[in-house]
Structure 1
Amino acid sequence: MATPKDTVWPLDPHTQAKHLIISEYLKAWYPICAGGQFKEFTYAEGFAGPGVYVGEEPGSPVVALDVFLRRRELLRPGQHLNVLLIEERGDRLEELRRQVDRKFDEYGGRPSQLTVTFRKGECTTALLPTLQKLTPRRSPFFAVLDGWGGPDAIPLDIARSAANRPGGEVLVTFQPQHLVRFATTENGAQAGDRCFGSDDWRAAVDQPKKMKKKFLVDCYRNSLFKAGFRYAASFEMRDEKKNELHLVFASNHLKGLTKMKEAMWKVDKQHGVRFRDPRDPDQLEFYFEEKPELSPLRRALLNKLEEGPGEVSELREFALCETVYRDVHAGMVLKDLLKVGTIESSTGKRVPRKQDRVWLTKKEPTPPPLSPEPLF
């Protein structure tokens, strides 16, 4: 989808699916923050937009506010929730203010424990200074960085700042075709270096066409790890019009990654969106649904076990951190592999427990059939 020029524009299916993911994740993130010992926590958007689409569908800032306002009673005395919204265009920022006011009116006014801060400016220059003034460094912080085009619009410094916060998390979204395109142009080199934190990504030009995207995705994930994040997951969405959107989530907490994966898998085929793992060039597109297509995960787990035996808990975490799947999906695959005898477990049971060790079955080669004895 081309970068929109108007104040508002039509809502495409993969953006609608992304909004559902954000909403479902915030339904977990918000109670966790409110139930902790934190006095403040912050939700931020670096490319907030106008807050509404042509068909009156809510934008992601309004979607987030709806989650917070429906659960405003979760905030305890002395706690405060900050919402930071940054938008470069003045016309869109004014529309965003109107949409936020409408949402507050819908819930009877602005709660005293919830503050919305609007900033006109570029995400690259406005987000970090505003955040530093707005909230204590050690408070939880979740930023949605939804830049048009490639991730070159989002310097790694922003992700590094989030990674240095104990509760810092980011969801970065971009169109993957731009990721490949700017890797092959010298004009995008400096922006790419700022995005990746080094020039390692430039080696993408030497990769086969089929592998360019995977190479760049791996480079970006490694950049997030070097920035200080412990976990990073990525996947692609493709709608019926063949528009693509790439999402990368980074966190320092395995629980955060688990909740984001749960949110991702609540997007179903009714939204007209299919998914794939950008790190697996051979993977077909599939829907996230109640009975998912698990053959790519089965292949990945068997490849992992080729390296040697492993604990079920380690293999479940591998699925969570290194594939588009959830840890429970790994449990389903391992159970099936035990049932058909492809793997064995340390307990001999057919239902794998997290502490069990499993390994590939070493079957003896089938001997050739005996030749019949000669009749004479």
Structure 2
Amino acid sequence: MAVPTGILWERDPHTAAKHTLLRRYMSAWFPIMAKQFREVGITFFDGFAGPGEYENAQDSSPVIAMEQALRSEVTRWGTQTRLVFVEDHHGRADHLQDLLDARYPPSTRPAGLAMSLHRGKCSDLFERAIAEVGGWDGPVFANLDGWGVDTDYAVVQRIAQQRSSEVLITFEDQFFIRFANGEQQAGERVFGHSDWRHVDRLPTAEKKPFLLNLYRKGLHSAGFPYVLTFEMIDEGGHSLHLFFGTTSKVAVQKFKDGLWEVDGVSGQRFRDPRDPNQMSFDILHPDFTPLESRILELLSGRDYSMAELCEDALLETIYKETHVKPVVDQLLLQRKVEQVRTGRSYADRVFRLAAEQLF
């Protein structure tokens, strides 16, 4: 969508699905982290906070964060919980402040909740804004949902240095298309190096996959060992790319739980950008063909246990661990794979590609 110029704008289908996913993940993140980090506190940081709502009064990320932070499952631990918002548009920042004060009056907020709002650019203010509330003492979840080349790599790097911290970064498809066409001059700022310029030498069909993979590698290099990336596609064919960086396998599981509960919101379809066939599907009617292809590809190299196949699905695909067993069972029935070793549990069983058969 075009970059809005007013204070409020209409929520698009992408945003509806994205905020459903954020709310579901935050419903797990806040209580788990509040219990685990009672001594140092936790911080939710929104670098492009916006006005807090859309034209039809639907909540956006700052309100979702406040709502989740005030749940009894969170406040019962007495953990210092910090909400830090940065917004460059002064009219939207004022609207957000008024909205939060009206819906959650400061006098009614628990003593352990600190909320701050800063007017300015994320890259200029994020470090100081988080420091002012003591946010660097504990883990930070950073929601970086800009309009294009707004998320500096330096911001991602700093968050990654913080223990048990995470990032959720959003890019519209046009962002990568503009980079591929050489129309953006901020590549070093976004990618953290000049390697992205190699895109000029690639065929058109390879440009976007190259940039997506390069950015994913950049999150790994920043310090996030686990990076999920997936693409949401609306009914008009418009794409939105989400990158989730974390240091926790449990966080990956929780995030995927939220993803697979979106239930096809507003006609959204999902796609794994690394799927060579670029198949898309809705959550209600998933297509497991890419997962089947991934498993067969892995087994072409060596034998794998069920536990290893599940971990690969969790960390390297859009699918969940629970999706693996039914796919493997189907491949066994089709005689495409065979079991070569049993174990005390199904996770210990080992599989390999089946030998070719004529009959």
TM-score (norm 2): 0.94
C-alpha change, 1:327 and 1:73, in structure 2 (3 Å) is closer
Q: Is the Cα–Cα contact under 8 Å of residues 173 and 238 in structure 2 kept in the other structure?
A: no
Give the CA deviation at 1:315.
1.4
Q: Is the Cα–Cα contact under 8 Å of residues 83 and 117 in structure 1 kept in the other structure?
A: yes
Give the CA deviation at 1:242.
3.1
SS in 2 for 1:233: strand
**2:316 aligned to 301, 312, 322, which one?**
322
Which amino acid in 2 is paired with 1:63? I
Runs ≥4 in structure 1, deviation > 6 angstroms?
Answer: none
**Residue of structure 2 equivalent to 1:181:** 178
Q: Deviations over 1:213-270 (max 9, x none)?
A: 1111110011111111101011111222333211000001111111111111111224
Q: Is the Cα–Cα contact under 8 Å of residues 274 and 287 in structure 1 kept in the other structure?
A: yes
SS in 2 for 1:112: coil
CA–CA separation in structure 1 for the residues paired with 2:243 and 2:324: 21
**Residue of structure 1 equivalent to 2:2:** 2
Q: Is the Cα–Cα contact under 8 Å of residues 211 and 281 in structure 1 kept in the other structure?
A: no
Give the CA deviation at 1:341.
2.7
Which amino acid in 1 is paired with 2:335? G
Gaps of 5+ in 1: 367-376
Give the CA deviation at 1:355.
2.2
C-alpha change, 1:327 and 1:310, in structure 2 (3 Å) is same
- Residue pairs, 1:62-141, within 5 angstroms: 62-71=63-72, 74-77=75-78, 79-105=79-105, 109-141=108-140
**Residue of structure 1 equivalent to 2:352:** 359
**2:243 aligned to 240, 248, 259, which one?**
248
Give the CA deviation at 1:356.
2.0
C-alpha change, 1:136 and 1:118, in structure 2 (3 Å) is closer
SS in 1 for 2:108: coil
CA–CA separation in structure 2 for the residues paired with 1:325 and 1:73: 29
Q: Does the alignment pair 1:59 with 2:64?
A: no
Which amino acid in 2 is paired with 1:316? C
C-alpha change, 1:337 and 1:311, in structure 2 (3 Å) is same
SS in 2 for 1:317: helix
- Residue pairs, 1:289-308, within 5 angstroms: 289=284, 291-308=285-302
Give the CA deviation at 1:100.
1.0
Give the CA deviation at 1:184.
2.7
**Residue of structure 2 equivalent to 1:370:** none
Q: Does the alignment pair 1:170 with 2:135?
A: no
**Residue of structure 2 equivalent to 1:369:** none
Equivalent pairs: percent with the same residue? 34
**Residue of structure 1 equivalent to 2:31:** 31
Give the CA deviation at 1:112.
1.3
CA–CA separation in structure 2 for the residues paired with 1:48 and 1:138: 22
Q: Deviations over 1:62-83 (max 9, x none)?
A: 1221122233654423x21000
Q: Does the alignment pair 1:43 with 2:36?
A: no
**1:310 aligned to 283, 304, 313, which one?**
304
CA–CA separation in structure 1 for the residues paired with 2:38 and 2:289: 42
TM-score (norm 1): 0.90
Gaps of 5+ in 2: none
Which amino acid in 2 is paired with 1:56? A
CA–CA separation in structure 1 for the residues paired with 2:30 and 2:122: 23
CA–CA separation in structure 2 for the residues paired with 1:73 and 1:15: 26
How many equivalent residue pairs?
Answer: 358
CA–CA separation in structure 1 for the residues paired with 2:327 and 2:345: 10
CA–CA separation in structure 1 for the residues paired with 2:109 and 2:73: 10
Q: Deviations over 1:100-159 (max 9, x none)?
A: 123315x9821211111100010111112222332353511101100112xx32111111
C-alpha change, 1:37 and 1:43, in structure 2 (3 Å) is closer
SS in 1 for 2:85: strand
Q: Is the Cα–Cα contact under 8 Å of residues 213 and 278 in structure 1 kept in the other structure?
A: no
SS in 2 for 1:35: helix
Aligned-residue CA RMSD (Å): 2.0
Q: Is the Cα–Cα contact under 8 Å of residues 199 and 207 in structure 2 kept in the other structure?
A: yes
**Residue of structure 2 equivalent to 1:374:** none
Structure with larger Rg: 1
Which amino acid in 2 is paired with 1:19? H
**Residue of structure 2 equivalent to 1:159:** 156
